[in-house]
Structure 1
Amino acid sequence: MRTFMISWIPQCLQILRSPSRLFHGCSRLRTSQIISYYDSVNRCEKELPKYFNFASDVLDEWLQLEKDGRRPANPAFWWVNDEGEEVKWSFEELGFLSRKTANILSEACGLQRGDRVLAVLPRVPEWWLLSIACIRAGIVFIPGTSQLTAKDILYRLQASKAKCIITSDTLAPAVESILPECQFLKAKLIVAKGNRDGWLNLKELFAVTSADHKCVKTRNEDPMLIYFTSGSTGSPKMVVQSHSSYGIGFATSSRYWMNLTPSDIMWNTSDTGWVKAAWSSIFAPWISGSCVFVHNMPQFKPTIIAETLSRYPITVFCTAPTAYCMLVQHDVSSYKFLTLKHCLSGGEPLNPEVMEKWKIQTGLDIYEGYGQTETVTICANMKGMKIKPGSLGKAVPPYDVQIIDDHGAVLPKGEEGNIAIQVQPSRPFCMFSEYLDNPEKTVACMTGNFYVTGDRGIMDEEGYVWFVGRSDDIINSAGYRIGPFEVESALIQHPAVSESAVVSSPDPIRGEVVKAFVVLAPAFASHDPEKLTRDLQQHVKKVTAPYKYPRKVEFVQSLPKTATGKIQRKVLRNKEWGKA
């Protein structure tokens, strides 16, 4: 059963014909000034406003410009699915519907400013309404992927002390199974067409709820979002982001990395439970007045991606490196992406080989960006910059990015160390506030005057940052430090390799050695494994430093990945070291 409510939304929007229901306000900024103003804040050319709310200070500004005819005739939100259903909202409609939703959260769910809400929903339009409604009401929004289990949901509810959970009829039974252990939970809101005992129904509440809502006045440091980290080193941690950190912090990368304008239509494929959805499906496009495009796909299929880029007037496309790899293997050169002009990637490093194939097949470059749940965009290949394939690009204001040693000293150019952001004497406003209820971890990520990302890298003479690997992914073999990404980048240049993951493996002489898990291209599935192993080893020795070649190779059908498509090297490493 589908969990969205397409049919009733147009009826609800008929109320907008009544002038008394419309938002009234005076636009303080022109179209070009909105993004320029917040970009100037990021560049420390203007002061950070004491009070800021993304809904009133950004979305409602675009709403007024739209009504005044000073914004291009472009939707604010455009949603489609594989069944041919479609939703389009203007900024005025988005404002109207999100104010209704804010009243539902406050009145029906009994939530107050500062309360926390866990939302576990797929890519349905209601997710966007709920996220903006929480901002309007000063409620802290906690997204979760719809792939969470009952155990995952219980952990998040207990850790966050959320007073409300919002989910679909698919996950409602999982929530009900853990209710006796959720002492803080006060309300359950379901996004579904039918009723469910014990749950408030969003569709029914829309029919009886007013759209008259006054946006709360939030301070720039007030909490707005909580994201749970992936839990790669222990239980997932709660990262708190303020109203200004994400609400303003993406202005510069929106303008110069994503190259967005009010005329653009941006499609970001990220799942709603992951931070990239906040980055590229809410804050970055809407601070620039762009249209957020969403295709509610149950799973990633290269053919569907290519057909969507061909069919719809998408101008900016963002997806994970794994997805680009699948697309170039599918070969998209036969498709015509008539409106596509700018391509982005993030989440994990992008192999130069994939970038080159995408360029050959589409004629377009991929502009890679780098950041974390705890930050906004740290580094990026900005529009107009020379792209160095394999590089993360340069630091994005207001961040001062350096490569430091384990004691906090800045290293010379070309030396490998910890990728870090300077936070003393002045901490950038677009940094996470804290790891909630975990002061030890909050302190532990600081070294000297720097926040340490946990990634290893190198900075070249021109200020480009090169990713080497996660600190715990680095392989120390007989004194040589080897980053998995460089070996994986070499492997994928061989025609036999479809995907690979490189980890450490125990060795009685060297302590540990490089091991490659390789997914073969279909044409090589029947090749002699011993000969193919030797071929791959010789290939890596030629492409990169010989000491980095994989002394062990294992051919596998697939690689373990997160819901966002990141390779879980930890799973493979634990298997090698007998910790699985």
Structure 2
Amino acid sequence: MLDLGDRPAAFNFTRDVMGRWAELRPDDPAMVWTEPSGTVIERSFAEMAIAASRAAAVLAEAGVGRGDTVLILLNREIEWWELMLGCIAIGAIASPGTTQLMAKDIAYRHRAAAARCVVASGEMAERVDTALAGEDIARLHVGGPRSGWIDYGERRAAATPIATAADTGFDEDALCYFTSGTTGQPKMTIHTHGYMLAHRITGSYWLDLKPGDLHWNLSDTGWAKAAWSSLFAPWLMGATIFVHHSPGFDPVATLDLLERMPVTTLCAPPTAYRMFVRSDLTGRRFDTLRHCVSAGEPLNPEVIDLWKAATGRDIHDGYGQTETVLLCANRVGAARQGSMGRPAPDFDLAVIDGEGNRLPADVEGDVALRIAEGHPPGLFARYRDDPQRTADTKRDGWYLTGDRAIVDADGYFWFVGRSDDVILSSGYRIGPFEVESALFEHPAVAESAVVSSPDPTRGEVVKAFVVLAAGFEPSEALVGMLQDHVKSTTAPYKYPRKIEFVTSLPKTVSGKIRRKELRDREWERGAA
């Protein structure tokens, strides 16, 4: 098995990791998959390797080649893992997307990524047909026959597994994640095949995984967090992935399952832990659970204390981005609750000033990763077709994360906030521009400004300050109409949970909306 210290000219995760485990531990479980009906399916490493080879064959038969982009719009179906591995095997670029995407989002992603193929099931397939009507793109349907689509299950059953995986380069493009920014449409974050190997940092330093562990990550498959904790890191460490395929998140059902199944490590966003501690934890026993982690947004120290009081387990907060692997974390035996933890040994992470100088302890500045001496493990390659925004992430030999923090005298990082206007809500990254654009499509909206607002459960939520067009009056009914409009226009998780009608918006002399002023005012008010 390759070690992180290796930087081979060629690396293919499906071949070099899954294929290797299939040789060394063919009968050991790679995945335990469940659904609310009670069905439990176990897949060994050998079975997953074969399934990946069959998925690769289906993709190739559909016309997908090395370097082609495949949009994978699946939830937690087993096929998501098969097709992710299948893309990697043939050198295609996998671009996962959340099943909350609407037709407009799908059309944009197809156009921006020049996708050669799209994979979907159920309602998502209907949205694809709406979004891509008349487009020449291969369509793989999961879940049975569908008119105009290739039946993935049927083709997989008949497929001859590919004989050998592509000898993909360590620095060759492999993944395309769409991530929201403060302006414009979502950026296409490109990762190489080497990024997958770099998740040994995530798996060893933070998740603390090893063979025999059963690891459960609650993240949606459309987000980079799934790459972290539902795919690369666990399997690099030889652990078993636990999957619960359900239509939504139910904290009580999740806790019930955590008691019944022999899960040893849990990765959940702060929102989930907040819901857990508000549930009745009296009498619950998680006998096999030994390690809990959280990421995506800051976790309240109070939640950590309540969880430990009820379960006896700490929550180890971790920090990273769509553009990186794990950068900083609270390790077992060295946690400082409420902090981001300390940097992983592989990274020179610091807090810097505007000129790129390291700041002393307890002085707020920009969180940055040193890149002057070489490309750090797992750092993204670029924003595709966007050299300016790629360049904007760099300053004086540093990669800028876009976050603000302080470092204490012991080297622990303490999160202060975003240095831009991106909203982090329940682990979702939401750009204000996308919500403002959706609102503007409604005839009642003359203009709007979208910012974060404090929320006791989600950490922060989307709030819209709306200036109404002539002929419209503020009302609760209009609030509901605008919220429904955003839900139907873009991914529902982006809708403004709070709307305030105003007569004007604060602006600079050049006419730019001063979101920071609105955001600061909102946070000064405190959680409503």
Question: Does the alignment reach a TM-score above 0.5?
Answer: yes
Q: CA deviation at 1:173?
A: 2.0
Equivalent AA in structure 2 for residue 155 of structure 1: Y
CA distance in 2, matches of 1:572, 1:473: 18
Q: CA deviation at 1:327?
A: 0.3
Counting aligned pairs with the same residue, the percent is: 41
Q: CA deviation at 1:56?
A: 1.2
| SS of residue in 2 equivalent to 1:472 | coil
Residue 214 of structure 1 corresponds to which residue in structure 2? 164
2:462 and 2:495 in contact (8 A); partners too: no
Indicate which of 88, 91, 99 corresponds to 1:135.
88
Residue 38 of structure 1 corresponds to which residue in structure 2? 3
2:33 and 2:40 in contact (8 A); partners too: yes
Q: CA deviation at 1:65?
A: 1.1
| SS of residue in 1 equivalent to 2:168 | coil
Query: Which structure: larger Rg?
Result: 1
Q: CA deviation at 1:176?
A: 1.5
CA gap of 1:574–1:329, structure 2 versus 1, over 3 A, is farther
CA distance in 2, matches of 1:318, 1:573: 38
Residue 234 of structure 2 corresponds to which residue in structure 1? 285
Structure 2 stretches lacking a partner, 5+ long: 423-450, 466-485, 507-512, 516-528
Equivalent AA in structure 2 for residue 187 of structure 1: A
Deviation by residue 1:453-497 (Cα, 9 ceiling, x = unmatched): 1100001111111100001359xxxxxxxxx99x96xxx9xxxx6
Q: CA deviation at 1:256?
A: 2.5
CA distance in 1, matches of 2:391, 2:501: 28
CA distance in 2, matches of 1:427, 1:244: 11
Equivalent AA in structure 1 for residue 329 of structure 2: A
| SS of residue in 2 equivalent to 1:117 | strand
| SS of residue in 1 equivalent to 2:29 | coil
Write out aligned runs for 1:66-465 (5 A): 66-67=25-26, 74-107=28-61, 109-180=62-133, 182=135, 185-193=136-144, 195-245=145-195, 247-385=196-334, 387-465=335-413
CA gap of 1:417–1:66, structure 2 versus 1, over 3 A, is same
Q: CA deviation at 1:80?
A: 0.2
2:463 and 2:499 in contact (8 A); partners too: no
Equivalent AA in structure 1 for residue 365 of structure 2: G
1:270 and 1:564 in contact (8 A); partners too: no
Aligned: 1:62 with 2:15: no
1:504 and 1:573 in contact (8 A); partners too: no
1:347 and 1:566 in contact (8 A); partners too: no
Moved more, 196-205 or 225-234: 225-234
| SS of residue in 2 equivalent to 1:228 | strand
Deviation by residue 1:283-302 (Cα, 9 ceiling, x = unmatched): 11000010010001211111
CA distance in 2, matches of 1:501, 1:207: 45
| SS of residue in 2 equivalent to 1:216 | coil
CA gap of 1:569–1:423, structure 2 versus 1, over 3 A, is farther
CA distance in 2, matches of 1:573, 1:165: 40
2:105 and 2:491 in contact (8 A); partners too: no
CA distance in 1, matches of 2:65, 2:109: 20
CA gap of 1:370–1:569, structure 2 versus 1, over 3 A, is farther
| SS of residue in 2 equivalent to 1:224 | strand
CA distance in 2, matches of 1:168, 1:574: 42
| SS of residue in 2 equivalent to 1:151 | helix
CA distance in 2, matches of 1:425, 1:575: 51
2:189 and 2:382 in contact (8 A); partners too: yes
Q: CA deviation at 1:336?
A: 1.0
CA distance in 2, matches of 1:181, 1:574: 42
Equivalent AA in structure 2 for residue 93 of structure 1: E
Q: CA deviation at 1:200?
A: 0.4
CA distance in 2, matches of 1:172, 1:412: 53
CA distance in 2, matches of 1:411, 1:155: 41
CA gap of 1:127–1:574, structure 2 versus 1, over 3 A, is farther
1:503 and 1:573 in contact (8 A); partners too: no
Equivalent AA in structure 1 for residue 333 of structure 2: G
Deviation by residue 1:406-455 (Cα, 9 ceiling, x = unmatched): 22121111100000001102121311000000000000111111010110
| SS of residue in 2 equivalent to 1:226 | strand
CA distance in 1, matches of 2:110, 2:152: 20
Q: CA deviation at 1:333?
A: 3.4
Equivalent AA in structure 1 for residue 125 of structure 2: A
CA gap of 1:567–1:186, structure 2 versus 1, over 3 A, is closer
The alignment of Structure 1 onto Structure 2 pairs a total of residues equal to: 459
Alignment RMSD (CA, Å)? 3.0
| SS of residue in 1 equivalent to 2:198 | coil
CA gap of 1:181–1:306, structure 2 versus 1, over 3 A, is same
| SS of residue in 2 equivalent to 1:457 | strand
CA distance in 2, matches of 1:437, 1:356: 45
CA gap of 1:358–1:162, structure 2 versus 1, over 3 A, is same
CA distance in 1, matches of 2:418, 2:163: 45
Q: What TM-score do you get using the length of structure 1 for normalisation?
A: 0.74
CA gap of 1:371–1:361, structure 2 versus 1, over 3 A, is same
Q: What TM-score do you get using the length of structure 2 for normalisation?
A: 0.81
